[in-house]
Chains A and B, each alone.
Chain A
Amino acid sequence: MLRVSLHHALPGFGLDVQFEAPPGVTVLFGRSGTGKTTVIQAVAGLLRPDRGRVALDGELLFDTTRRHWLPPHKRRMGYVFQEGRLFPHLTVRQNLLFGQWFAPRGAKRESLDRVVELLGIGPLLQRRPGLLSGGEKQRVAIGRALLSAPRMILADEPLSALDEARKAEILPYFERLRDEIGIPMLYVSHSAAEVARLATTVVVLQDGKVQRQGTAAEVLGDSAVMPAGVRAAGALLEARVAKHHSDGLTELDAGGVPLFLPQIAKAPGSQVRVRISAHEVILSRQRPEGLSALNILPGTVEHVRTGGGPGAMVSLQTPAGRVLARVTRRSAQALGLETGAECFAIVKTVSIAPEDIGGG
């Protein structure tokens, strides 16, 4: 358990955050410029905050009131940077082993073979970082952090410097870190998809303050909290893989409601999390007939949120969980969507993107 309490003056605003990161992956979620990186740097010891206190599993990393400050090399935090930061004069193998020289003898550590296998970087070992692609660099950076026998992984927007294809390539490795290595992680992101895939706990930062903290489903399903903007809003459904169909679809069981997705590589019975983008959801007051969309979820309107613009965010309680739907204010009015109204949420199978589907 990581306990963080920080005050720090930044240009234009003050950072003032308190949160706890339980085991699992805690995602610091917010737009750029809300102080996420400052928080993670203070936890790593790369930035000295004006005031604050951080403790990991009861051990104090720093406490400004007690003038206690553990330098970064004594904190044993495996930091994965945005831009990799591999050492250009060392081979991939030497980069990976760098942290091992300094890890304490008794520390629980992963073996080079296991990490190389986990990240699929065997063929790269003798190369120098200058010749690697962005995705390869980031995989090596993850391995390098992991092999320094860290007590926790800190990842600062590790995917933001990569293109979409590379993001999809790297994200599963963080899931494997969470599921197979089981190392606690503090992960900074401004992407709702990454939150949906990785987060055990989400801490939403806005203007230097913690706006909301909760599970991924709670935070993503809350239409009052949309740090990535209204276009990236979308609730998270937790479901179980029911069966794979021969026509390339996977059927999920979401609280008794069938949900069809393009085929995913998960065994029947396994838990998955699916993020349903709010702007991909169509609402209807009657159960539609003769419609090509396969997923129809019955539900009740919890509330409708409108702003100055033409849009409205409808929050719907369904047996599968909460669903957010972004419709126009005009439609919301025409359909009489108000709290308590019964309606159906329609989601096209093909609108569910693979990057929005993660392991439970």
Chain B
Amino acid sequence: MSTEAAWLGPEEWQAVMLSLRVSFWATLAALPLAVFAAYALARWQFPGKQILNSLVHLPLILPPVVTGYLLLMVFGTKGPVGGALQQIGIVFAFRWTGAALAAGIMAFPLMVRAIRLSVEAVDPKLEQAAATLGAPRVLVFAVITLPMILPGLIAGTVLGFAKAMGEFGATITFVSSIPGQTQTLPSAIYTFLQVPGGESAALRLTLVSIAIALGALLLSEVLARRAADRTGGR
């Protein structure tokens, strides 16, 4: 760690660690919701399904600045939700948690899409078979569906993590770019590019970004292959 600390300046190092923390929590919190939404969209027929589908995809098609501004209006300290949460001591605005919220929301549609595809690939007839053998719905999901969608789940998680690492527009609009608080990797690169002589720091952070992205991709390949081996192909 000390060599990296020497290679990266303290502010750059801070941005890297903050981005990792933000992305980790964003992905972790979004994952169960994404699995639920993906399962619901893939398997259930219910009124308002198209509306849910559009809502899920909204962050993907809206300009990120718009998403960030909406977050600010809703989750800002004067916003309806943000104000209420402030009463119980939870603040998103201009905190790293806000960055995580923005990153999670931006990553959500990508995660849902990847997981939904893998849920659709699971034959519902297998779930029926499990039910006739006495398994209640929740257990059918845990013992049959979940293991079979594992490769898609991993792919979705990595995709979500990568998206969260790269999130810029919504984050900077919602929580600004305060060094050590909300200055994630992309906002740090952007900030360095705005000051004279900041190019070398920006380049170093760019290299770190590339390394993290490639590392995550590699890890997901390995995990997905292992999961696919376990399900025995067919």
Binding site for B on A (CB under 8 A): 44-46, 71-79, 81, 83, 85, 87-89, 98-99, 101-103, 128-131, 144-145, 148, 154
Contact indicator B232/A128 (Cβ below 8 Å): yes
Subset of 17 A-B contacts with CB under 8 Å: A44-B132, A46-B128, A71-B131, A73-B132, A73-B134, A73-B137, A73-B140, A85-B125, A85-B128, A85-B129, A87-B144, A88-B233, A89-B231, A98-B133, A98-B135, A130-B232, A148-B132
> A77: nearest residue on chain B (CB-CB)?
B132
Q: Which residues of B contact A (CB under 8 A)?
A: 123, 125-126, 128-137, 139-140, 143-144, 147-148, 230-234
A81: chain B residues within 8 A (beta carbon): 125, 129
Please determine whether B148 and A89 come into contact, CB atoms closer than 8 angstroms.
yes
Of B131, B143, B144, the contact of A73 (CB 8 Å cutoff) = B131
In the bound complex, do residue A89 and residue B232 qualify as a contact, i.e. CB atoms below 8 Å apart?
yes
Complex contact A87–B132 (CB within 8 A): no
> Which of chain B's residues have a CB closer than 8 A to the CB of A46?
128, 131-132
Cα distance, A158 to B126, chains bound together (Å): 16
- What B residues does A77 contact at CB under 8 A? 132
Q: A87-B144, A88-B232, A89-B230 are in contact. Are A144 and B131 (CB under 8 A)?
A: no
Question: What CA separation (Å) do A89 and B146 show in the bound complex?
Answer: 11
| A85 close to B134 (CB less than 8 A) | no
Min CB distance A68 to B, Å, is 18
Q: How far is the CB of B226 from chain A (nearest CB, A)?
A: 12
Q: Which residues of B contact A78 (CB under 8 A)?
A: 132-133
Q: Given contacts A74-B134, A81-B129, A87-B129, could you give 16 more A-B pairs where the C-beta distance is less than 8 Å?
A: A44-B132, A46-B128, A46-B132, A71-B136, A73-B134, A73-B140, A79-B132, A85-B126, A85-B129, A87-B144, A89-B147, A89-B230, A98-B133, A99-B134, A101-B135, A128-B232
The distance in angstroms between the C-alpha atoms of A102 and B234, with both chains bound, is: 25
Question: Across the A-B interface, how many residue pairs have beta carbons closer than 8 Å?
Answer: 79
Name the contact of A144 in the complex, choosing from B133, B136, B137 (C-beta under 8 A): B133
List the B side residues contacting A98 at CB < 8 Å.
Answer: 130, 133, 135, 143
Contact for B136 among A44, A73, A103, CB less than 8 A: A73
Determine the residue in chain A with the shortest Cβ distance to B140: A73
Check A103–B232 contact: CB distance below 8 A.
no
Q: Which residues of A contact B137 (CB under 8 A)?
A: 73
Question: For the complex, what is the distance from the CA of A98 to the CA of B133, rounded to whole Å?
Answer: 7
Can you name the residue of chain B whose Cβ is closest to the Cβ of A98?
A: B133
The complex places the Cα of A144 from the Cα of B133 at a distance, in Å, of: 8
Provide the bound-state CA to CA distance between A85 and B126, in Å: 6
Which residues of A lie under 8 Å from residue B128 when comparing CB positions?
46, 72, 85
Q: Which residues of B sit under 8 angstroms from A44, Cβ to Cβ?
A: 132
| A102 and B132 in contact, given A81-B125, A88-B234 (Cβ under 8 angstroms) | no
In the complex, the chain B residue whose C-beta lies closest to that of A131 is B232
The smallest C-beta distance from B124 to any residue of chain A, in angstroms, reads 10
A-B CB proximity, top 10 nearest: A102-B134, A99-B133, A128-B232, A79-B132, A130-B234, A89-B231, A85-B129, A72-B131, A130-B232, A148-B133
Kindly report which residue of chain A lies nearest to residue B132, judged by CB atoms.
A79
A44 and B128 alpha carbons, distance in the complex (Å): 10
Q: Nearest-CB distance from A336 to chain B (Å)?
A: 56
A88 touches B148 (CB 8 A): yes
Chain A nearest CB, measured from B160 CB (Å): 24
Nearest chain B CB to A210 CB, angstrom units: 24
User: Knowing A72-B128, A81-B125, A89-B147 touch, does A145 contact B133 (C-beta < 8 A)?
Assistant: yes
For A85, A145, A148, A154, the residue with the greatest tally of chain B CB atoms inside 10 Å of its CB is: A85
Q: Which residues of A contact B231 (CB under 8 A)?
A: 88-89
What's the least CB distance linking B66 to chain A, in Å?
42
